Amino acid sequence: MQVTLISYTNNPELVCIQAGKVCYSPHGIKQIQKQPDKEQSGIFLDKIIRMGHLSVIEHASFSFMIEGISRACSHQLVRHRIASYSQKSQRYVNEKQFEYITPPSIAAHSSVVKTYNHFMEQTMEFYSELVAQGIPKEDARFVLPNAAETKIFVSMNGRELLHFFEKRLCQRAQWEIRAAAEEMLDLVKKIAPYMFKTAGPGCVHGSCPEGKLSCGQSNEMRKKYKNSSYKESDL
């Protein structure tokens, strides 16, 4: 898997701070656009996020290229509806030698993975046979597995990314989309550290939302994701 941050709103945190100041300041655009103190800006943005005034961070957008994931993973990804997607098309791309993803649980068993690989090879052969017989690729693709590798271009605003991280960084999320979420969070934290300072699974800021299905590792997750770079009393 490879996750690349392709583009993002120029100075995303400043844009969101300016949007927030429109709500709380009597000043006009000239005053609002003045470059604020970096530390105070971070405190202001963090406070807005903690208040739940998340419409402010919708003004920042981030675009990623995600490669080397399975169709099983991308089907989960596109369920996040407040986002934009462009995905490799199986209607137009010939998949006679498609790459495929092998789950670690299968790769760990030598006898199972051998059968798995053989099944994929047979699927490639049958797909190629269909195309050779004049079957359109859009119909031949019906035999392709969820394991087939895909690549997808994803754009989300800051608010949707926080929601995405809340759901997909959970230990109960499928391993592949969780790995993608980890990579995405690492990338955006370098660009907007205050905006994503509190990002993490749902259990980081309260009780586990999974209830009886909880992984039982809430304390570990809080230690992993909770950033205490400054005190609550500073807000």
* Residue 168 annotated as catalytic: yes
Q: How far apart are CA 210 and CA 170, in angstroms?
A: 9
Q: Which of 141, 168, 172, 222 is an active site residue? A: 168
By the 8 A CB rule, do 226 and 219 touch? no
How is residue 43 annotated by DSSP?
A: H
The encoded tokens of residue 146 equal: 């969820």
Of the chain, the end-to-end C-alpha distance in Å amounts to 39
How is residue 212 annotated by DSSP?
A: G
How is residue 120 annotated by DSSP?
A: H
By the 8 A CB rule, do 95 and 183 touch? no
69 DSSP β-pair partners: 150
Q: What burial letters (b/e) apply to 105-132, b meaning 16+ CB within 10 Å?
A: eeeeeeeeeeebeeebeebbeebeebbe
- Segment (H or E) for 152: strand 149-157
Query: Which residues are known catalytic residues?
Result: 168
